Structure 1
Amino acid sequence: MKILVLHGPNLNLFGRREPHIYGTTTLAQINGHLEALAKSLAVELTIFQSNHEGALIDQLHAHIDTAQGALLNPAGLTQHGVPLHDAIKAMPFPVLEIHMSNIAAREAWRAHSIISPAVKATIQGLGWRSYTAGLRALVETLRDAPPVG
């Protein structure tokens, strides 16, 4: 099983950026937690981070026929990423929206995600564990799904 993990704009600054909100865990450490969990679940990850919406969309397109699911932290694209929303809707596999903080409990403008209507589910507010909770949920969901065809 192949899972795509996409990290959006500024997430390369985890561990340095607003540690009172996002904690001190770095993106490399998050990816390490994901890789260790993926190994125990016997799944393969492709992990990608970009500060550019088009690059994230390109990754979805590139994996349209090879991935069985995706985790996406859209970061600052959560409220404004219409092309990303549209790309997610075109995917034949489930995408889970991941946020380290609870966006509903922050500034009012952060509470509305235009990404959420395009994804299967949203996991938020658990810090870096939002990613691992998402990976577990996605893999369990995919394994419980009836065979296609």
Structure 2
Amino acid sequence: MTESIRQGTRRHKIVIIDGPNMTNLGARNKKVYGAINSIEELQLFSEEFGDRIGVEVETFVSNFEGAILEYIHATATTADAFIINPAGLTEIGIPTKHALSETSKPVVEVHFANVDAPPTAPRGLPIGPWDSVFRSSVTGVAMGMRQYSYSSAILGLAMALDDETFLGADL
């Protein structure tokens, strides 16, 4: 029997939101996005990883910022934390940034690529680097590891939510 990596046993609910262009995942640059062939495959990967570590993962994807805002508002009271791949909203998604901040929940920004890297870097975007509007307000960032950025964010959030001193709680 293996010991759990997590300190707690609560089944936290982590909501993953994928933004514009992520619905085109299977047709995107394989150097950057790897072998994941669809957004549905990524969602299943994330949900199954969450199950393996005792976390409920709920997924949502939209190419429309208004739909993303409505989804954040609808899940703000039931989610313990959020993961956002802003994708096409990375440099312009101020309303989404505000909506996530207003939930007062931990948020991790994820990207398949290293969006801070130049196009010549192995994990950089051909049109990078990008200046994320989310970076200044999120709890953490996981990027450059393709779909593993998602598993990193899920595990990190689960462990952080198990820690009673996380996010400035009294030590």
Q: What TM-score results when the alignment is normalised by the length of structure 1?
A: 0.91
Cα deviation, residue 103, structure 1: 0.4
Counterpart contact for 2:115–2:128, Cα < 8 Å: no
Distance 2:147 2:128 in 1: 22
Q: Which residue of 2 aligns with 1:50?
A: 62
Identity %: 30
Native 8 Å contact 1:57 1:87 kept in 2 = yes
Q: Distance in 2 between the 1:14 and 1:51 partners?
A: 12
| Residue identity in the other structure for 2:21 | N
Superposition deviation, residue 24 in structure 1 = 2.7
1:29 to 23, 41, 57: 41
1:116 and 2:135 are equivalent in the alignment: yes
Distance, in Å, in 2 between the alignment partners of 1:28 and 1:85 is 24
Mark the runs of 5 or more structure 2 residues left unpaired by the alignment: 1-11, 120-126
Greater displacement, 14-23 / 78-87:
14-23
Any conservation in 2 of the 1:16–1:24 contact (CA below 8 Å)?
no
Larger Rg, first or second structure (1 or 2): 2
Indicate the structure with greater helix content.
1
How far residue 109 of structure 1 moved from its aligned partner, in angstroms, is 5.7
Given that 1:8 and 1:52 are in contact with CA atoms closer than 8 Å, whether structure 2 keeps it comes out as yes
Mean alpha-carbon deviation: is it higher for 51-60 or for 28-37?
28-37
The one-letter amino acid paired with 2:104 is P
Pair 30,94 (structure 1): closer, same or farther in 2 beyond 3 Å: same
**Equivalent in 140, 144, 149 of residue 159 of structure 2:** 140
How many residue pairs end up in the alignment? Answer: 148
More displaced stretch, 95-104 vs 29-38: 29-38
> In structure 1, what is the Cα distance between the partners aligned to 2:164 and 2:45?
25
Q: Structure 1: state its 5+ residue gaps.
A: none
Equivalent position of 1:85 in the other structure: 97
The equivalent of 1:4 in structure 2 is 15
Change (3 A) 1:104 1:146: closer
1:62 is matched with which residue? 74
Structure 1 runs of 4+ aligned residues shifted over 3 Å read 106-110
Measured in 1, the distance between the counterparts of 2:164 and 2:63 equals 33
